[in-house]
A = this chain, B = another copy of it.
């Protein structure tokens, strides 16, 4: 028996889901919460398998609820439900550990499927949401690609030095590892600063990591 709690501030919506799930004989709705704080409180005295969580909740929003819930009860599977197919929402709540994300216009067949999938520990996204995530992913790739193309001209030796810097080695250690003088390493560092337009080591590391210049 899959124990389910529903968290949504619209009574009719909660009732609707509940009536759908009542027809499933391996599912049981054991809790209803109408705001975020209620969820936290409810879980203190109840065990559930799945939390159907609206992203826009009063008092404490779904993203926060998701984070807090999983921090205390990592075995709860969270299926996010939202009116909005917004990339920022989707991305945030997934980062907090939600396993799935479906929209409120999802039909009963898909809802059941989503719950069953999530219950096995797998992720589930409705196809509109999938599209949204993929678009976001593509944007990121394009961004980091552009950036990457901007700083290509780092020599082999400089790359070695850069890698060792990022691994927290001091200039002296790098000199030892590469069998060159300390002053030579310092010289490479200067070239790196100039080429990468960095003011100091911090910038060097940040730019190198942002642009994925290693590998």
Interface residues of A, Cβ cutoff 8 Å to B: 94-95, 97, 123, 125, 127, 130, 133-135, 137-138, 141-142, 145, 165-166, 168, 170, 198-206, 209-210
Interface centre among A168, A200, A210 (most CB of B within 10 A): A168
In the complex, 27 of the A-B residue pairs with CB atoms within 8 angstroms, ordered by the A residue number, are: A94-B138, A94-B141, A95-B141, A95-B145, A97-B142, A97-B145, A123-B135, A123-B138, A127-B127, A130-B134, A133-B134, A133-B137, A134-B134, A165-B202, A168-B198, A168-B199, A168-B200, A168-B202, A168-B203, A168-B206, A170-B200, A200-B201, A202-B204, A205-B205, A205-B209, A206-B209, A209-B209
Residue of B nearest to A198 (CB): B168
Residue of B nearest to A197 (CB): B168
**B-chain residues with CB within 8 Å of residue A142 when the two chains form the complex:** 97
**Copies of the chain in the assembly:** 2
- Bound-state CA distance A135–B141 (Å) is 17
**Given A123-B135, A123-B138, is A166 in contact with B206 using a C-beta cutoff of 8 Å?**
yes
**Given A94-B141, A137-B137, is A202 in contact with B199 using a C-beta cutoff of 8 Å?**
no
**B-chain residues with CB within 8 Å of residue A170 when the two chains form the complex:** 199-200
**Given A130-B130, A141-B95, A145-B95, is A202 in contact with B166 using a C-beta cutoff of 8 Å?**
yes
- Bound-state CA distance A209–B210 (Å) is 9
Residue of B nearest to A94 (CB): B141
**Given A168-B206, A198-B168, A199-B168, is A134 in contact with B138 using a C-beta cutoff of 8 Å?**
no
